[in-house]
A = this chain, B = another copy of it.
Amino acid sequence: MSITVVGSVAFDSIETPAGRRERCLGGAATHFSLAASFFTDVRVIAVVGEDFGEEQESVFWARGIDTQGIERAAGKSFFWEGSYLDNLNEAKTHQTDLNVFAAFEPKIPDAYRDSEFLFLANIDPVLQRRVREAMPDVKLVAGDTMNYWIKDHRAALNEVLKGLDILLINDTEARMLADNNNLVQAARAVLMHGPKTLVVKHGEYGATAFFSERSFATGGGEAHHPFRAPALPLEDVVDPTGAGDSFAGGFFGYLASQSEVTPAVFRRAMFYGSVMGSFAVERFGTERIQALTRKEIDDRFIQFRELTHLD
């Protein structure tokens, strides 16, 4: 089944202890769709400026990603500059230029309308909701958000949360959304806001899925126990940018590739998410995922199993 993703396609200037890159291809929708493209067909809705050319678009084409929903506007693309010099787990933002993104009005190509899976990457919840409502027939909707929307756009965000099957956020965001420092209590509070399932990403410690009683990923008599996927202990983390979006892409891409979302499929999807996140950080920007093969993904999946399984 195919995924439509709406989110940012951007240029990132990034500095980490491993070095610096100027204006490399970035954005949540970019990282998500590249990771998901190893599992299923992906279609992107975004807006870019005149600085987005064939060099950038060919990165999507090389992975068979449908880019007809990437709108061209007069002006410059979304630009972000950040560094991870003191702490690889948290970016320090130096500059954010919304540029053409400031007036983004997502338009859904007719050819996208039969997508069964929809991913609302981290953008203004007003836009997330609009896209959600414009695609009422999707089978499964997942989404991301960030501290900025949680703090200052709560009413709009709450409307989005009501319509989500799966919310993917990090520890800090989950605790902020629930105003509760205990992760289990925070998860329960977040699930009361609407999402049937909550995936909390812990960076170098992996990710935990929490299920509500309404979750599609439980049932068959199984209890609603959480499930924790590890992250791979990595010797060299070059650039954490896009790790969370790559996790979401691997996770949701794998779900979309299966005929049914059973608890076992959901667990494997968590592992594939962690696998894609572990590759993403090995080089700057999209470099590692662009060069990736399916064989490498499957080998690392086995490594994740060995890392965590008793037998």
Contacts and interface: CB of A to CB of B under 8 A. Distances in A.
Given A182-B235, A184-B234, A235-B182, A310 B225 contact: no
A308 interface: yes
Interface string A291-311: 000000000000101111111
Interface stretch (A3-11, A142-150, A202-210): A202-210
A219 interface: no
Is the interface on chain A under 10, 10 to 19, 20 to 34, or 35 or more residues? 35 or more
Most chain B Cβ neighbours within 10 Å, of A187, A205, A236, A271: A205
A264 B208 contact: no
A108 interface: no
Main secondary structure of the interface of A (DSSP, over half): mixed
Nearest to A204: B183
A236 B225 CA distance: 16
A228 interface: yes
Contact of A310 (B206, B237, B309): B309
Interface in A5-62: none
B183 A233 contact: yes
A204 B202 CA distance: 11
A88 B181 CA distance: 10
A181 B88 CA distance: 10
B233 A308 contact: no
Contact of A237 (B182, B208, B307): B182
A310 B205 contact: no
Contacts of A204: 183
A233 B306 CA distance: 22
What are the 4 tightest A-B residue pairs by CB atom distance, in nearest-first order? Answer: A205-B205, A184-B235, A228-B230, A184-B233
17 contacts: A182-B234, A182-B235, A182-B237, A202-B205, A208-B233, A225-B303, A225-B307, A226-B233, A227-B308, A228-B233, A230-B308, A267-B310, A268-B310, A271-B310, A305-B310, A308-B308, A308-B309
